[in-house]
Structure 1
């Protein structure tokens, strides 16, 4: 099913698609979290409740600042219509740090994207001025279950920490998706990823940043590119580093989306005759003969 949505027609050459059947996705894995550091030392650390809803490390914030500078330097910051973020501390800290405004100043008539020192950080507040909207979506969370680092806080607590993020799509205040007994299977993560991709076609935005997790990205993207050259498929599906950004084009090959083009122009305005040369010849072959005499 995924290959019916995204992919090349063959490995022999490029494919061509109408622009309004495409969306540009800027996929970002969160910056280094405390669970990444501890898990690198000992995989069993992922079972530690001390890593509940893991936040960014100081190095992680440095990675965020570097990516923030990059998206502004290359002009991407002005192109993004929407930022979708997994509702966990490390992803929301990354999202607002990369795509948010500068330091928040009291008295500004706009809620901050993040309050000062949110989530065990020493980071100043981040402004929501001149930024795209941010929306939290649970479908793009990391593997669910067992690892406390992947369990979220209540939405009520997040709303206090991240006032300008929209949490309206999250149905439950508490985390009812995470369970201590069962870790979500890889194929279930991939299926959830497909559900998320299909949901993107219900959005009107054409250029979307998604700030999410390594496992979610890897298992979702592994299902794509089967009709591409092997090097392209490898490029699509390889693991993301902390705070890595990759831009990709999502193609609607099955008429899932319904948006009309905003750049196409119908022509013949004002209306008039404009038969192509070959069509005119087929319609009036006698004129061709007359012209040759």
Structure 2
């Protein structure tokens, strides 16, 4: 493809492979896709995955394992919301948890977030870390407000929440919606922080709004077709991207 900005070369040791995963279908998406105002429903607070969402997780998990990708990923970073944590542990976690492995904490306890899903083991899987910077569009929508870290730590014992400063959610406001520009700036801050990590191959489990507004800030030095491809909305759940 003809690139208007010319060709750029970078040493491999200065590059990272980033896999961007949108969470699987949440309960808020079912009605929200029909009527945007449904996202204001308080019943969707910290929305969990639907049965279809868990099927999508299982399908992506099969791809990650059959392709050998699970053996390449050094780190998984997830937005600290129920649907992203469930997606992260479901896709990248170990096999079903059994009580006889008392020295291995589960990534997720059984029925976390009313999931009717069995516990998920942390055995032989990459570390999973929760990070606030890759959260969804903040404010007003109850589905985007997180629970306390204390509650999450009980539901996801082997997930690392040490990057989160506050137990309660101090980022989400019930009457102020984060602007698109603020969200994009937060996304760029997240990626700049990501470059400081030592890991070379990292999976990010996040949200469509975060992905769209963050990625639209990139590609301005590329061919217009590349720019369009980078910044399009993730129309499908649990889609894997490589940058």
- TM-score category of the 2 structures, normalised to the smaller one: over 0.9
SS of structure 1 residue aligned to 2:16: strand
Equivalence map 1:17-166=2 (5 Å): 17-108=10-101, 109-166=103-160
**Pick aligned residue for 2:9 from 16, 19, 24:** 16
1:188-199 to structure 2, matched below 5 A, reads 188-199=182-193
2:234 pairs with 1:242: no
The answer to which of 206-215 and 99-108 deviates more is 99-108
Q: TM-score, normalised by structure 2?
A: 0.96
Deviation for aligned residue 1:36: 0.4
Tell me how far apart the structure 2 counterparts of residues 92 and 194 of structure 1 sit (CA, whole Å).
22
Question: Using the alignment, how far apart are the partners of 1:88 and 1:104 within structure 2?
Answer: 22
Query: Where does structure 1 lack aligned partners over 5 or more consecutive residues?
Result: 1-9, 249-293
Classify the secondary structure of the residue corresponding to 2:21.
Answer: strand
1:12–1:140 CA distance, 2 compared to 1 (3 A): closer
The DSSP-based 3-state class of the residue aligned with 1:156 is helix
SS in 1 for 2:48: coil
Given that 2:104 and 2:123 are in contact with CA atoms closer than 8 Å, whether structure 1 keeps it comes out as yes
Cα displacement (A) at 1:232: 1.3
Q: Structure 1 residue runs of 4+, over 2 Å off?
A: 10-15
1:277 — aligned with what? Answer: none
Q: By how many angstroms is 1:155 displaced? A: 0.3
Count of matched residue positions in the alignment of Structure 1 and Structure 2: 240
Alpha-carbon deviation of 1:45? Answer: 1.1
Give the distance between the partners of 2:213 and 2:222, measured in 1 at CA. 18
- 1:147-205 CA-to-partner distances (Å, cap 9, x unmatched) read 00000000000000000100011011000110100110000000000100000111100
Residue 169 in structure 1 maps to residue 163 in structure 2: yes
Say whether 1:229 aligns with 2:232: no
Larger Rg: 1
Structure 1: distance between partners of 2:173 and 2:66 = 42
Find the aligned partners of 2:179 and 2:5 in 1 and give their Cα distance.
35
Equivalent position SS for 1:45: helix
In the alignment, the residues of structure 2 paired with residue 25 and residue 201 of structure 1 have an alpha-carbon distance, to the nearest angstrom, of 10
Q: How far apart, in 1, do the equivalents of 2:224 and 2:60 lie?
A: 29
1:185-228 per-position Cα deviation (integer Å, ceiling 9, x unaligned): 00000000010000011110000000000000000000111111
Listed as ranges, the gaps of 5+ residues in structure 2 are none
